Amino acid sequence: MKIKIVFSDIDGTILNKRHQPSPKTVETIQRLCQQGRPFVLVSARMPRGIYTVQRQLGITQPIVAYSGGLILDEKGEPLLSLGFCPSKALLIKSYVDTQGACCSVYTGDQWLVDDQSDPWIRQEMHITQVTPEEGRMDDLLKGVQVVHKLLLMDEAPRIEALEQDLKRRFEGLRIYRSKATYLEVMDESASKSGAVKELCRIKGIPVEQSVSFGDHFNDMDMLAATGMGFAMANAPKQVREAASHVAKSNEEDGVARAICALMGWQDTRG
């Protein structure tokens, strides 16, 4: 198979447990891009959180934010934007607040929160190296045209219950867990697979010549959409079983090692 473009999730995929890409991963991705093969980060993160990782990798490529809700080109210009209205976001958040979960709102490259001191918010700030805007949510959303994502954070059993609850209460949404303690809420039209197909179309690359990597449930549609889809060894069993291929874990340079094998490069990993 001739690889022309690679799509990859970030957390649990190209980043290790210290939230860093290994030197081997950086070297391999840079080599791929230098050969004219784009390496596109596809994440539930906001753009700023993705650009942090791009800088670590030393690359400039298009990005897919909000799990397909927003595609930006190499210059940061929007290619696709999918979301829902602020009034719907406030309605959902009001209900989530009654359930005691932490809920924040994302629009464009803005992260909006009620309380920066919330432990869940502090944790996400540490992971993404992004500082949110704080205030009353209805004030923060004045003038906003589209909301790309709500992020709910709580202990795993409560998140699992909230997922089912919100699916029963609200229509027109894509709701899924990006990890055990995180629940993502987006417009139903947004998906990683849709973004992958759209970028391939824009670049004139057959989707059959694309490869993707991911480690969680929100990656499954992307893994199925590309010519080859690699679930990470650290992915849940259901994700691994659904993927066409399984790569080594994120702690073992799984993405880099798979790319080296596909490209016929010697794996110099020590």
Span 136-166, pLDDT tens digits: 999 999 999 999 999 999 999 999 999 999 9
- Helix axis angle for 156-169 and 86-98, nearest 10°, is 130
- Examine the pLDDT at 270 and tell me if it is beyond 60: no
* pLDDT for res 75: 96
CB 67 within 8 A of CB 10: no
How many of the other CB atoms lie within 10 Å of CB of 84? 23
CB 69 within 8 A of CB 149: yes
Averaged pLDDT for residues 4-12:
97
Degrees to nearest 5, angle at CA 182 with 178 and 184: 65
pLDDT confidence bin for 110, thresholds 50/70/90:
very high
Q: Does the active-site annotation cover 9?
A: yes
* pLDDT for res 122: 97
How many of the other CB atoms lie within 10 Å of CB of 19? 16
CB 213 within 8 A of CB 255: yes
Pairing between strand 210-214 and 5-8?
parallel
* pLDDT for res 268: 53
* Fold match, 5-81+190-263 / 86-187: no
pLDDT confidence bin for 189, thresholds 50/70/90:
very high
What lies within 8 Å, CB to CB, of 188 at 6+ separation is: 172, 173, 174
Averaged pLDDT for residues 224-247:
97
CATH 3.90.180.10 fits 5-81+190-263, yes or no: no
Topology of the domain comprising 86-187: 3.30.1240
What lies within 8 Å, CB to CB, of 2 at 6+ separation is: 209
DSSP 8-state class, residue 147: B
Domain residue ranges in the chain: 5-81+190-263, 86-187
Q: Which of 9, 11, 154, 221 is catalytic?
A: 9
The alpha carbon dihedral of 229, 244, 186, 173 has a sign of: positive
C-alpha to C-alpha distance for 20 and 14, rounded to whole angstroms: 8
Averaged pLDDT for residues 59-76:
97
Span 119-142, pLDDT tens digits: 999 999 998 888 999 999 999 999
